[in-house]
Amino acid sequence: MLRQCFTVFLANVLLGIMSTAIAQQKTIHGDDDRVETYQVNAATQRAAEAVVAFIHRSALHYQANTKSYRLVDNTRLIDQRWCHQERFAQQPAIAFCSGVLISDRLVATAAHCVTDNGIEKPSLLDKYAVVFGYQMVNANQAPQQFSEKNVYFIEGIDQLYSDPEKRHDAAVVRLRRSVVDHQPIQLALRVQMPINTPLTLIGYPLGLPQKVAAGGLILERKAVGAYVTNVDAFRGNSGSPVFVTDSLTTDYPVVVGLLSEGSQDYTIKTTASGQCRASHHCQSIDPDSLSCKGEILTPIDQISSYVNKNREP
């Protein structure tokens, strides 16, 4: 019944989108649309609960007495040579990739986040933690520790979709234990989203605590299936789920794809105190430009087909 309701809902969403359409380096397109998760509506916050940060295990220290992990890496964005005036400059910046929970033990992310040039290496996966709840509590309070139920480790890679020619870059990783207290995102079956579909990205740009960036659009779908978009994204957003914006006001969020590549992150700015990094801005997309070529999404199609095929009855 749930899947039937989801299918009916998705059809309605697509009809609305079509009406609207008729009437590793990433960047900012137009205005910077990134906001904190606590600033968005309740339905979007529920979807965001399924979006995970990939963090190096060395940044976390387990405390047996509280059964929690304390954050021991205090690196801030400003410590990585970003300008003092940059948004979120004083926030921690310790995540290196994003992902989304798609079943109780499966997480979808970008393939380059969990492989060595497309090759699975268990020693590499052992270095990573998959973390829920890496979000700002308020404007001034960053997370300092995570309960056991918010930290998981990777058992292996279930499926790999790495094809540079098709610009597909996605993977499904299996966690060592089932996730509790977080609902996975139910992936839609094969659906081709039309041009001008409004998009919202949720993830961890530059390793910062989770940000929500609405205001994006599908600009093109390549013959090989990849979407070209103008969502605001950076390094650290790789693997971020990108949602149909209209679906984030409902109980059935629709994922279009996973962020896999994009335009450059920053430009070098010279100030009185020296040089620093400033966010790179694009006012328009030029597919032939390296600096403003748009943000590429690996379509969710193959992953959703795999998950639904292997779903337990």
Question: Using CA atoms, how far apart are residues 165 and 222, in angstroms rounded to an integer?
Answer: 11
Question: pLDDT tens across 11-51, in order?
Answer: 444 434 433 333 345 556 667 889 999 999 999 999 999 99
In percent, the amount of the chain with pLDDT more than 70 equals 87
Residue 4 pLDDT exceeds 70: no
C-alpha angle 281-294-94 in degrees, rounded to nearest 5: 65
Residue type, position 114, single letter: V
Q: Cα dist. 171→100, 157, 234 in Å?
A: 11, 7, 19
Contact call for residues 86 and 278 (beta carbons, < 8 A): yes
Question: Using CA atoms, how far apart are residues 103 and 184, in angstroms rounded to an integer?
Answer: 5
Question: pLDDT tens across 50-98, in order?
Answer: 999 999 999 999 999 999 999 999 999 999 999 999 999 999 999 999 9
CATH assignment at residue 230 = 2.40.10.120
Question: Using CA atoms, how far apart are residues 185 and 243, in angstroms rounded to an integer?
Answer: 11
* Sign of the torsion angle spanned by Cα atoms 218, 38, 233, 101: negative
Domain count, the chain: 1
The single residue listed with the structure tokens 């399924």 is: 50
User: For residue 256, which of 236, 235, 231 has the smallest C-alpha distance?
Assistant: 231
Question: pLDDT tens across 140-150, in order?
Answer: 999 999 999 99
User: For residue 211, which of 79, 93, 103, 74 has the smallest C-alpha distance?
Assistant: 93
Instruction: List, in order, residues 6 or more apart from 129 with CB less than 8 Å away.
Output: 54, 55, 56, 57, 59, 60, 69, 151, 152, 153
Q: What are 122's two structure tokens?
A: 């268990």
Q: Write the DSSP symbol of residue 217.
A: E
Question: Using CA atoms, how far apart are residues 46 and 183, in angstroms rounded to an integer?
Answer: 8
* Per-residue model confidence (pLDDT) at position 312: 56
Question: Using CA atoms, how far apart are residues 241 and 107, in angstroms rounded to an integer?
Answer: 11
The CB-side HSE value for 290 (13 A sphere, CA atoms) comes to: 3
Question: Using CA atoms, how far apart are residues 163 and 184, in angstroms rounded to an integer?
Answer: 26
Question: pLDDT tens across 94-112, in order?
Answer: 999 999 999 999 999 999 9
pTM to 2 decimal places: 0.87
Question: pLDDT tens across 205-242, in order?
Answer: 999 999 999 999 999 998 778 999 999 999 999 999 99
Residue 272 pLDDT exceeds 80: yes
